[in-house]
């Protein structure tokens, strides 16, 4: 077997959200072949592999689903003239089968450590409503958690923004077009400008994007039935740590006046990890062991970290190979050299973390 069989095999099983089963079954068998003590599909369809039976537990939570849009899996020379080696093209090679495969291979490399248990989870539905993570959050209580997302082999992500979505609905009685009365659509435009003005004011003294509100208007619809006009703003926001989804919805209601605010989907709070932990120090050592200069990043998106970290309340980080600017793009690919380094980094990190001298 090559050092990249897990990566290539996993990426070769196209698994958009809702259609993960084939990839899950393959990964379970792959973990069995790598010597995992247990490997199974859990109640909601996550792939789970376990090594060790110790009382202390490290969970490595990746996601096995991808966005839609199959990309032919192809192993080719690196397209970057300043880089050497090969790359693998394929949907999920970066987001986030690369990090998940890295977890699987690194844990297999480390094997059994006295007093410890490693649990690798390939979660389903992360790209939609995180059904897989919402299930496992109540099944485990780890001592340490590592979440799989692409941030390059020499970087550790310590925070992800939250998100909240809502429909803001404006209603007005139907009037004649010559009446001069504001239409529901006109009022909705004014409401949007008020929301935007509030966000601009909030962000004015915030230098880091991670600390700002990031507002988007995802759509605007209008209709009338002869008696009433209605206009709907589809408003999304990425939240900083200091603003909870509940805080945002309350503020939104105050801003929009007599318009209705209808929260949509799952709102997710932002999360920032503790920096001075044994887990972080172990990663710094692992990265330096490969000649890297460790860097910390805070991301503007959300991840399964946001769901599990507030419940598990243990030291956590986000790690994984790959260039996140390639997420969800038709050019998604990962460098094999980077993947190999990330496996070594994670292996060294887990050895350091579980060392009796720690």
Place of tokens 């209705």: 260
Mean residue pLDDT across the chain: 94
Q: Which pLDDT score is estimated for 223? A: 85
What's the rounded mean pLDDT across residues 31-37?
Answer: 98
DSSP string of 245-302?
Answer: HHHHHHHHHHHHTTSEEEEEEEEE--EE--SSSHHHHHHHHHHHTTT---EEEEESS-
Residue of 62, 142, 188, 83 whose CA lies nearest to 354: 142
Q: Reply yes or no on whether the pLDDT at 240 is more than 70.
A: yes
**In which band, very low, low, confident or very high, does the pLDDT at 80 lie, cut at 50, 70 and 90?**
low
User: Please, what are the domains in the chain?
Assistant: 5-160+271-353 (3.40.630.10), 162-268 (3.30.70.360)
Q: Which pLDDT score is estimated for 1? A: 43
| CB-CB neighbours of 56 under 10 Å | 15
Burial 155-176 (b: 16+ CB within 10 A, else e): bbbbbbbbbbbbbbbbebeeee
pLDDT tens, residue by residue, 325-350: 999 999 999 999 999 999 999 999 99
Catalytic residue set: 65, 126
The reply to whether the predicted model has a pTM over 0.85 is yes
Q: Which two tokens stand for residue 176?
A: 């004649």
Task: Compute the distance between CA of residue 24 and CA of residue 65 in angstroms, rounded to an integer.
Answer: 9
What's the rounded mean pLDDT across residues 46-66?
Answer: 98
Q: Which two tokens stand for residue 127?
A: 């790209």
Give percent of the chain above pLDDT 90.
89
Q: Which pLDDT score is estimated for 356? A: 84
Q: Reply yes or no on whether the pLDDT at 231 is more than 60.
A: yes
Q: At what angle do helices 97-110 and 21-33 cross, to 10 degrees?
A: 20
- Measure the CA angle with vertex 191, ends 187 and 195; round to 5°: 170
Q: Which pLDDT score is estimated for 181? A: 76
């Amino acid at each position: 077997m090559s050092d990249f069989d897990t990566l290539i095999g996993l990426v070769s099983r196209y698994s958009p959200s809702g259609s993960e089963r084939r990839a899950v079954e393959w990964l379970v068998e792959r973990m069995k072949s790598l010597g995992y003590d247990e490997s199974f599909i859990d109640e909601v369809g996550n792939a789970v592999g376990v090594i060790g039976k110790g009382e202390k537990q490290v969970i490595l939570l990746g996601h096995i689903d991808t966005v839609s849009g199959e990309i032919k899996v192809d192993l080719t020379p690196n397209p970057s003239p300043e880089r050497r080696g090969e790359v693998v093209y394929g949907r999920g090679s970066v987001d986030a089968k690369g990090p998940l495969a890295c977890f699987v291979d690194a844990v297999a490399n480390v094997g059994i450590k006295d007093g410890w248990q490693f649990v690798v989870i390939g979660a389903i539905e992360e790209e939609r409503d995180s059904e897989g993570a919402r299930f496992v959050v109540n099944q485990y209580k780890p001592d340490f958690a590592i979440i799989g997302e692409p941030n390059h082999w020499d970087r550790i992500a310590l925070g992800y923004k939250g998100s909240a979505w809502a429909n803001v609905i404006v209603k007005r009685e139907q009037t004649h077009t010559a009446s001069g009365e504001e239409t529901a659509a006109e009022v909705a435009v004014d409401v949007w400008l008020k929301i935007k003005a509030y966000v601009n004011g909030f962000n004015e003294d915030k230098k880091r994007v991670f600390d700002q509100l990031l507002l988007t208007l995802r759509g605007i619809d209008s209709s009338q039935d002869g008696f009433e006009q209605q206009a709907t703003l589809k408003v999304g926001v990425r939240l900083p740590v200091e603003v909870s989804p509940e805080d945002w919805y309350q503020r939104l209601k105050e801003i929009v006046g007599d318009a209705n605010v209808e929260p949509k989907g799952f709102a997710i709070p932002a999360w920032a990890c503790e920096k001075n932990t044994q887990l972080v120090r172990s990663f710094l050592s692992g990265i330096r062991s490969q000649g890297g200069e460790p860097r910390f990043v805070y991301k503007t998106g959300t991840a399964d970290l946001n769901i599990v970290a507030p419940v598990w309340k243990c030291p956590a980080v986000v790690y994984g190979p790959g260039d996140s600017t390639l997420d969800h793009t038709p050019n998604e690919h990962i460098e094999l050299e980077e993947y190999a380094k990330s496996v070594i980094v994670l292996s060294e990190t887990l050895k350091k973390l579980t060392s009796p001298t720690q």
